[in-house]
Amino acid sequence: MIIPVVLLSSALLIGVSGCKPKNAGDATGSDVASRVYVPPGKYDEFYNFVSGGFSGQVSVYGIPSGRLLRVIPVFSVDPEKGWGYSEETKPMLNTSHGTVPWDDQHHLALSQTDGVIDGRWLFANANNTPRVARIDLTTFRTSEIIEIPNTGGNHSSPFITENSEYVVTGTRFSVPMDFEPGDVPIESYKKNFKGTISFLSVAPESGEMNIAFQLLLPGMNFDLSHTGKGPSSGWFFFSCYNSELAHTLLEVNASKRDKDYILAVNWKKAEEYIKAGKGTKRPAKYAHNVYDESTHSATSTMMNEVTVIDVKDFPDIVYMIPCPKSPHGCDVDPTGEYIVGSGKLAALIPVFSFSKIQKAIADKAFDGAYEGIPVIKYEAALHGEVTKPGLGPLHTEFDDKGNAYTTFFISSEVVKWNVKNLNVIDRIPTYYSPGHLCIPGGDTKKPYGKYLIAYNKITKDRYLPTGPELSQSAQLIDISGEKMKLLADYPSIGEPHYAQALPADLIKDKSVKIFKLDDNNHPYVTKGEKESKVVREGNKVHVYATMIRSHFNPDNIEGIKEGDEVYFHVTNLEQDWDVPHGFAIKGAINAELLVMPGETATFKWIAPKPGIYPFYCTDFCSALHQEMSGYIRVSAKGSSVPIAFSLGKNSDPEAAAGGTPTP
């Protein structure tokens, strides 16, 4: 039995709990606990990378246990890890608008080789201030963030081609282009607002991204996309809504037409035009931020040009395929032949055939044009429709046996259907209103069809109440048999949208354990305690400090004057796995630093009013962690207290044991 969420919530309001779906008790079945139980000391089978939505971060879970392994800071500052607070990481959040400390993170794409997840990088989008990040899967840290110009909301992003040639993004909001006047009446939408799709090249070795080219399109809203593969290699598919080109009350005005579109892009063709010099260079301002593992520091470069192709002038790059009612998910099956469009308001799911699309293009089976782009006849592109699948289809992933799994937001369920014959095979309720779902490898040539995770938007009665806000809920579903089986519920960080997963064996042994101190090329590194020092340069003071269990060197610092700009460059000398040290100063208008073994990080501090300021290590690093601390003396501006720094130079000379006293 399927309960629309509206009914369900009203039932909850009047205290009726007896209308839960009949099989809600499934997850308590006797063998279920053992399916998700990962005994102490054992590893999970899959890494699951989950978008953080309005948290701006990416979280990493183990599957099947549902254990949270790590939160990777990406687009939002993270005081826990000093992300965006240390001098080294501040440039990562730079944009053409200045420092942006937050974003909304929806989609993730793992790098691929020949259409199969290769375990090198994870790409993530920032929806609000358009950006794409690359996370290195050896360090589990963000290595690069690039801003996307001529874009109003980077939602249809990032999606990746089969050999990671390009990370592809599409704008959610059409906007006037950056190289044209922006101060135009909103009413002039149809004339002045344009949509764009961007192709970011990914360097094969380093993974470094660059905006290779952008396609200029009519002012629609691009929603989601996926790459072609196998036979559809070289093509990319985007769902579009607001073909009405409305600019107000989109809820009504962008839902008028019976059909919107899937945009089929022949990116190989576009690439040819670019190589032949057919693109136009346009001014654009966007930040390209790169974190260097050798200097443990990021740099931000402001870029000033982008190459664009107006598809009006190159009509064989793009084609439109009508798709019922505000399509959201746009998913390509593992064979690359079938493209699934999920109309949020549609009562069926259309499945398009790539070979039919090709035939339709060859035969010119067009139904006129949309803003100059040929529209392929719906029937000519259609493989078939899944009829009566459920209400509010959003997203589809695939298993390794020819089945598709679609989430239904309104009817709160996941529905399994056969891609070839389009018959519904099974359905399972979710709690409640799922958005995306994830099957490890479920959008690649090689799905690992064992588990499915549904990311639910509404949690209501699933967990102990925690005030007005409940954590969003993930649900792990066993898809190894004919029938789906609910295995577990677990809370998630932020609001997950898309997620990706890969077999743990693919990357777990490549995970970095320490940074080699010898390879640390940070300009302010201190490679041994003897090199610790404090250097004044005008009103700037550089503290070259070290950390090792369980002291700082130096730990007594004097001669700092009110208003000085003090930079604490702290190097963690440890060369052991899992021994970070932290750094915090009383009253500092900053977050802590959390410094990994072999790494240097910098804490900027404007010396406040005269007095004594304790600092300490924030990460419990040894039995004597509580002793890992120090004092800074701040003197008045005109004071003659000289710079002095020491470790172990106690006031009672008898008690001064060990350390490296410095005059």
Please, what is the minimum distance in Å from the beta carbon of residue 224 to ligand K7E?
A: 6
The verdict on 80 binding ligand CUA (CB under 6 A) reads: no
- Binding partner of residue 306 among ligand CUA, ligand K7E, none, CB under 5 to 8 Å per kind? none
β-pairing, 540-548 with 327-332? unpaired
Q: Can you tell me which of 340, 484, 593, 617 binds ligand CUA, judged by CB under 6 A?
A: 617
Spell out the SS3 assignment of 572-591.
ECCCCCCCCEEEEECCCCCC
**Residue 259: contacted member of ligand K7E, ligand CUA, none (CB under 5 to 8 Å, by partner type):** none
For ligand CUA, the closer of residues 299 and 550 by Cβ is: 550
Judged by CB under 6 A, which of 81, 120, 134, 155 binds ligand K7E? 155
CA-to-CA separations, 476 to 82, 411, 432, 437, 543, in angstroms, rounded: 32, 18, 13, 10, 49
Q: Is 344 in the site for ligand K7E (CB under 6 A)?
A: no
What x/- string results for residues 568 through 607 when contact with ligand CUA is judged by CB under 6 A?
Answer: -------------x--------------------------
Taking the CA atoms of 433, 386, 480 and 32 in sequence, report the sign of the dihedral they define.
positive
**Residue 224 contact, options ligand CUA, ligand K7E, none, Cβ 5-8 Å cut-off depending on partner type:** ligand K7E
The tokens for 167 are 């990370």
Min dist. Cβ of residue 276 to ligand K7E (A): 35
Q: How far apart are CA 478 and CA 451, in angstroms?
A: 5
Min separation Cβ 600 and ligand CUA, Å: 15
In which region does residue 637 sit, left (phi positive, over 0), alpha (psi from -120 to 50) or beta (all else)?
alpha
- The count of other CB atoms within 10 Å of the CB of residue 191 is 11
Choice from 149, 435, 494, 597 touching ligand K7E (CB under 6 A): 435
Strands 235-241, 259-266: parallel, antiparallel or unpaired by DSSP?
Answer: antiparallel
Closest distance of CB 40 from ligand K7E, Å? 34
Buried b (16+ CB within 10 A) or exposed e, 132-148: bbbbbbebbbbbbbbbb
Nearer to ligand CUA, 517 or 628 (CB): 628
Structure tokens at 238: 């985007």
Q: How far is the CB of 531 from ligand CUA (least distance, A)?
A: 19
Q: Any idea what DSSP says for residue 451?
A: E
* Of 54 and 189, CB closest to ligand K7E: 54
- Our finding on whether 107 is near ligand K7E (CB under 6 A) is yes
Which of ligand K7E, ligand CUA, none lies near 121, with the C-beta cut-off 5 to 8 A by kind? none
Measured distance CA(22)–CA(663) in Å, rounded: 77
DSSP letter at 641 equals P
DSSP state of 175: B
At 287, phi and psi to the nearest 5? -90, 140
List the one residue from 38, 335, 619, 641 that touches ligand CUA (CB under 6 A).
619
How far is Cα 369 from Cα 462, in angstroms, rounded to an integer?
A: 49
How many residues bind ligand K7E, per CB under 6 A? 11
Q: How far apart are the first and last CA of the chain?
A: 79
Q: Which does 106 bind (CB under 5 to 8 A by kind): ligand K7E, ligand CUA, none?
A: ligand K7E
Note the residues at the interface with ligand K7E (CB under 6 A).
Answer: 106-107, 155, 224, 328, 394-395, 435-436, 497-498
Note the residues at the interface with ligand CUA (CB under 6 A).
Answer: 550, 581, 617, 619-621, 625, 628
